[in-house]
Amino acid sequence: MRKAIHIIILLCFFIHSNAQQKLVTPNIESILYTGEGDNQKLIVGLGGSEGGNAWSSDFWKPTRDEFIKKGYAFLALGYFGAPGTPAILDKISIEDVHNAILLASKEKKINKNKIAIIGGSRGGDLALLIGSYYRDISCIVALVPSHAVFPGHTQEFNSSCWTWQQKELPFVPVNEAAVPFLMKRDLRGAFEAMLQDSVAEQKALIKVEHINGPVLLMSATKDEICPSTPMCDKMMRKLQSAHFKFHYEHKAFEGGHGEPLKHFDLVFTFLDSNF
């Protein structure tokens, strides 16, 4: 009997100290993880074009747990391909994502003045976009992101990945030069061909200079999906020319699209120093 009581006490402590809560957020799947204590800084995790809610998966559990151990709260967001979300990555409302973040920030344990977003691939684009539109986001970490908006993942590629105030954001269209690369599934080649349209590129640029906090970019020099290192270099030059007042840096790693994930310790170091 005494042993059973001891086990129940331990279970109650575990549940209390590592709470998991599913929030009701329109068009977004939102799962909030919190630890002990008040005034927890909020980390928001966004997956990429794989869809679903990547940061709620078992694969990312050790990293989530590390954030909780360090005193952060963690919000895993699915914005397409997850329950209650759009089926495909097309015309995703950045307000819906931001509203989900705002709801989580109102939880009593959360420090609403300290919100960082971590996104990978298309989620990196989304992190940069949200940071550029909303002043209440105070730190951005983007892994293998793009510097501009690209088409949604429809068969026709004729609409934007993202919307704001119910209007599609300008995007770099698929041009004739990109078609042969798409036919042979050379995604990087397709992106490089699309970026030959410099006029469209300029209209579709993410306004990273509007971000209200430090920025970490991580890219892959041999990225097979997109030219992430040149894209991040462009954003660095833009921040420099805008005399960006917050700390910003770019870490480029030799390897493919997934290489920066092997160096996630640098994300923790960056956050410890700048967030």
Give per-residue pLDDT as tens, 124-180.
Answer: 999 999 999 999 999 999 999 999 999 999 999 999 999 999 999 999 999 999 999
Under 8 Å between Cβ of 118 and 44: yes
Q: Per-residue confidence at 5, pLDDT binned at 50, 70, 90?
A: very low
Locate all alpha helices (DSSP H) within 121-178, ordered by sequence: 122-133
Mean pLDDT of 196-222: 98
**Whole-model pTM over 0.75:** yes
Residue reference for tokens 């698929």: 174
Q: Quick one: how far is CA 31 from the chain centroid? A: 15
Report the percent of the chain where pLDDT is more than 90: 93
Which residue ranges form the domains of the chain, and what is each CATH number? 19-274 (3.40.50.1820)
Name the 3-class secondary structure at 81: coil
Tell me which H or E stretch contains 25: strand 19-25
Comparing 10 with 127, the larger pLDDT belongs to: 127
